[in-house]
């Protein structure tokens, strides 16, 4: 008999919503605390830059029990994703459980000796309060605390009429109309904003970036949706994963020349299709060495605009502002009206006490999370959405289903603390030594190993169904409907109020 718990879900983004749904469905008493005024996390309208759309195709960015509407395009835009998430929350009766404009600012173990945590909460009226919970699900995402850039001359730039914005603050494309815009960064958000600025009528657009990276077009070769090539198990198996058997290692060694040829072929195709030479944007690294959550999709129109000069792309970074001029590290001086800093976000769990943060994050920034979800030294707590990927919604839902069983000691393979530590150490070795590309974002990225990660979670949960028919399983992307069946095949249970 499993006892009902008071659960706090921190964050109402993709991960928080599914976590709340999953814990509520088992019978737990769920409260969702969200510091913004609305749900959605990165898809909340007040935080989305103009024309934002998903990188993932819509069937790979959905919960298992709710397809995106048929009327949505293959790559939905920000307002559509937000509407989808709002519907999901309503479908599962989550709205009454949510407290908006409510921020978790600290936490400590309950001093009564009971399991769980006392959370320090800042209420909408700025008062603070303390509240006890038996279990805390941290669903605060990787894109919340904006990175900042501090270089000299910022005040003078602003005094001269210049504007400096983080990409998450740029929500109105009219801001750039008729202006000289300089975008700093080379991520998908940087290229999206550069293209949007051209389309919105900026007088000049420049993108300043460090190194060219491989970008994947929505349609490879102009024809094939990238999900049919890059999201499939057959492609995933070209990467050496963790914990391989001796036989798998031999198979990898034998297939090495074929795998090598596969990647060189893809590089040649991308160079040709995206005209990377003409844009002077051919990456120096091998494509397979950089496949992880940071691989951007090529914003449609970006490379043609670089090729014809509508976007000027220069390498380097900002060194300082000088009046309304930005001086680059290479010495180039650029006049600007608006500087948009697409420089990303800081990863962290700022409300965690230092003593627990030290158990969670290693000195080199790598996270100690078993299955990307739990740490045995942080009891009565789990993390959902920290297994980020190219299909984050499914990842979050899988993690939430694992976490509720872990919290209730209902995993078919409930790990001991020792097993968790050993596995965490093995994974850290994999990320540091065997595949450094897996170490990005504190090692919190399961791409390109989605299938392997899901296999492990389903196995832990005791799912009896884990795969589709052999051909579908190898050569089609993860299927949310199939994962609904796999999850349903794991042992069921309900909790009881005492
Ligand atoms: C522009 C953009 C496009 C993206 N496109 C894709 C895509 O196509 N495919 C894909 O797989 N991923 C994509 N991502 C990654 C995206 O982050 C994930 O898909 C997903 O939305 C993350 O959800 P989350 O719930 O984990 O985090 P978030 O969406 O960041 O939500 C976390 C929530 O926690 C709240 N919060 C944080 N701290 C506190 C606190 N102390 N107290 C209370 N509340 C708190 C935040 O306000 C936020 O609402 C994209 C990201 C961005 C920024």
Alpha-carbon distance of 158 to 152, in angstroms, equals 12
CA 60–ligand 1 middle distance (angstroms): 16
Please identify, by atom number, the ligand 1 atom nearest to the C-alpha of residue 44: 49
User: Of 79, 80, 84, which is closest to residue 65 (Cα–Cα)?
Assistant: 84
Cβ 11 under 6 angstroms from ligand 1: yes
Mutate which of 12, 39, 42 for ligand 1 pocket (most atoms within 8 A of beta carbon): 42
Instruction: Output the pLDDT for position 144.
Output: 83
CA 44–ligand 1 middle distance (angstroms): 9
Tens of pLDDT along the chain (498 residues)?
899 999 999 999 999 999 999 999 999 999 999 999 999 999 999 888 888 999 999 999 999 999 999 999 999 999 999 999 999 999 999 999 999 999 999 999 998 889 999 999 999 999 999 999 999 999 999 888 899 999 999 999 999 999 999 999 999 999 999 999 999 999 999 999 999 999 999 999 999 999 999 999 999 999 999 999 989 999 999 999 999 999 999 999 999 999 999 999 999 999 999 999 999 999 999 999 989 988 999 999 999 999 999 999 999 999 999 999 999 999 999 999 999 999 999 999 999 999 999 999 999 999 999 999 999 999 999 999 999 998 999 999 999 999 999 999 999 999 999 999 999 999 999 999 999 999 988 999 999 999 999 999 999 999 999 999 999 999 999 999 999 999 999 999 999 997
Instruction: Output the pLDDT for position 294.
Output: 86
Instruction: Output the pLDDT for position 143.
Output: 85
Mutate which of 35, 39, 141 for ligand 1 pocket (most atoms within 8 A of beta carbon): 141
Alpha-carbon distance of 417 to 372, in angstroms, equals 15
Cβ 14 under 6 angstroms from ligand 1: yes
Residue nearest to ligand 1 atom 9, measured at CA: 56
CA 41–ligand 1 middle distance (angstroms): 5
Domains within the chain, CATH numbers bracketed = 2-144+347-496 (3.50.50.60), 147-344 (3.50.50.60)
Instruction: Output the pLDDT for position 112.
Output: 82
Please identify, by atom number, the ligand 1 atom nearest to the C-alpha of residue 54: 8
């Amino acid at each position: 008999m499993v006892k009902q718990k008071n659960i706090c879900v921190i964050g109402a983004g993709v991960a928080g919503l599914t976590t709340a749904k999953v814990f509520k469905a088992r019978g737990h008493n769920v409260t969702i605390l969200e510091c913004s005024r609305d749900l959605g996390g990165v898809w909340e309208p007040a935080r989305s830059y103009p024309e934002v759309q998903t990188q993932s195709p819509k069937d790979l960015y959905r919960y298992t029990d709710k397809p995106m509407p048929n009327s949505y395009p293959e790559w939905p835009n920000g307002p559509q994703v937000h509407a989808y998430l709002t519907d999901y929350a309503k479908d599962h009766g989550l709205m009454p459980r949510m407290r908006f404009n409510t921020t978790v600012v600290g936490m400590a173990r309950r001093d009564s000796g009971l399991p769980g945590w006392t959370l320090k909460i800042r209420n909408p009226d700025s008062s603070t309060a303390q509240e006890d919970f038996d279990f805390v699900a941290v669903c605060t995402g990787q894109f919340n605390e904006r990175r900042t850039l501090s270089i000299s001359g910022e005040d003078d730039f602003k005094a001269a009429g210049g504007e400096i914005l983080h990409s998450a603050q740029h929500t109105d494309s009219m801001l750039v109309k008729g202006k000289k815009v300089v975008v700093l960064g080379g991520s998908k958000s940087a290229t999206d904003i550069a293209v949007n600025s051209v389309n919105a009528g900026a007088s000049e657009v420049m993108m300043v970036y460090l190194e060219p990276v491989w970008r994947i077009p929505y349609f490879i070769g102009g024809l094939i949706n990238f999900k049919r090539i890059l999201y499939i198990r057959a492609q995933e198996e070209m990467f050496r994963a963790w914990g391989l058997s001796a036989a798998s290692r031999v198979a990898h060694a034998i297939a090495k020349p074929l795998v090598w040829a596969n990647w060189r072929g893809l590089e040649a195709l991308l160079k040709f299709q995206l005209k990377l030479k003409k844009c002077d944007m051919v990456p120096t690294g091998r494509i397979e060495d950089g496949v992880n959550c940071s691989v951007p999709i090529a914003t449609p129109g970006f490379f043609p605009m670089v090729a014809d000069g509508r976007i000027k792309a220069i390498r380097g970074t900002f060194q300082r502002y000088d009046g309304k001029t930005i001086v680059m590290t290479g010495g180039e001086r650029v006049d600007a009206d608006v500087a948009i800093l697409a420089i990303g976000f800081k990863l962290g769990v700022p409300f965690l006490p230092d003593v627990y943060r030290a158990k969670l994050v290693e000195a080199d920034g790598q996270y100690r999370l078993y299955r990307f979800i739990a740490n045995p030294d942080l009891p009565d707590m789990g993390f959902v959405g920290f297994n980020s990927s190219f299909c984050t919604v499914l990842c979050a839902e899988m993690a939430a289903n694992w976490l509720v069983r872990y919290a209730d000691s209902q995993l078919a393979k409930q790990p001991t603390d020792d097993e968790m530590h050993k596995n965490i150490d093995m994974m850290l070795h994999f990320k540091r030594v065997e595949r450094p590309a897996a170490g990005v974002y504190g090692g919190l990225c399961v791409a390109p190993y989605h299938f392997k990660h899901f296999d492990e979670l389903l196995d832990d949960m005791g799912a009896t169904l884990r795969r589709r028919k052999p051909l579908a399983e190898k050569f089609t992307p993860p299927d949310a409907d199939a994962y609904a069946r796999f999850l349903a095949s794991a042992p069921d249970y309900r909790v009881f109020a005492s």
